[in-house]
Amino acid sequence: MSKEIIKIDEITKTVSDLTKFEITCDDLKKEVKKTADITVDNLEDKVQIERVKRGRIDLRNIEIDIEKQGKSYRDVFTKVNKDIMAKQNELLAITNPELDRLKTIEEQAKAIAVRKEREMILPYRKEKLAEVDNTTDDEALLEMDDKQFGEYLMLKTEEKDEKERLAKEEADREEQKQKEIKEAEANAVKETEERMKAEAEEKEAQEQKEKEEKEAQEKAEAEEKIEEEKRLAKEVDYKKFLSDNEYDKIIKEDNEVKLYKLVATYKIK
């Protein structure tokens, strides 16, 4: 056992001896036993209740004495603790500045070592960032540890993926728009062609109708002319027929014209 542990054990034993309570556990058990046989069979019996009260007060007075003695011991050690803490701070105030200086040197050396390690992997970090279309400043990358760089790379990867997703959506929208424009143009051309074809067919039908009407009119006029010529020819022939024959009476029967001539008249007397 080291000398320091022996010394602490001795101090602990001395403190334990100095802080013994006047009353012992056995004494307290005897005091508790005095009230253990107190029972009440009638809560309205003032004598019995007074006995309970007396027992409670006696036990509480013993507790108060214990608490006072414990506090007196604690007060002593509270002051001792304060004195120990003050001495501790006085002693540490001598070593702390030098300790901080040495720790600063170690931290600076560690920072240099860490930076050199990060400089060695800097090309790798830049290469990984280049894969996600990112060109972060070298100094900013050197300030990151592996965990920070991993999180940063993940963030930039998500940003690239989101950018590509939005770009694809925009490209798809533009493609759909151009497709709809082409379909609209094709439909317009088709509608125009169909309209022009319908108009041409309608015009052709109208022209054909007019042609047929004209031909029918010309035919009717020709037939009418022929009929007129026939009628006139018949009229001329009919007039010639009448002039070539002397007649007194004309009788039309069916399609024939009959001329009658009075040959003679005999007057009956």
pLDDT of 47-81, one tens digit each? 888 989 998 998 999 999 999 989 988 898 899 89
- pLDDT for position 168: 93
User: Strand 256-260 vs strand 249-253: parallel, antiparallel, or unpaired?
Assistant: antiparallel
- pLDDT for position 176: 93
Mark the ranges of the chain whose per-residue pLDDT is less than 50: 1
pTM of the model: 0.42
CA distance 94 to 101: 12
The count of domains in the chain is: 1
Q: Is residue 134 part of a domain?
A: no
Q: Is residue 101 part of a domain?
A: yes
Q: Is residue 85 part of a domain?
A: yes
Q: E strand or H helix at 251, and its extent? A: strand 249-253
- pLDDT for position 4: 56
Q: Is residue 216 part of a domain?
A: no
Q: Which domain holds residue 36?
A: 3-123
CA distance 172 to 170: 5
Q: Is residue 62 part of a domain?
A: yes
- pLDDT for position 6: 56
Cβ–Cβ under 8 Å, residues 114 and 141? no
Q: Is residue 91 part of a domain?
A: yes
- pLDDT for position 262: 80
Query: Residue written as tokens 């009418």?
Result: 224
Q: Is residue 192 part of a domain?
A: no
H helices of 19-45, in order, are 25-36
Q: Is residue 55 part of a domain?
A: yes
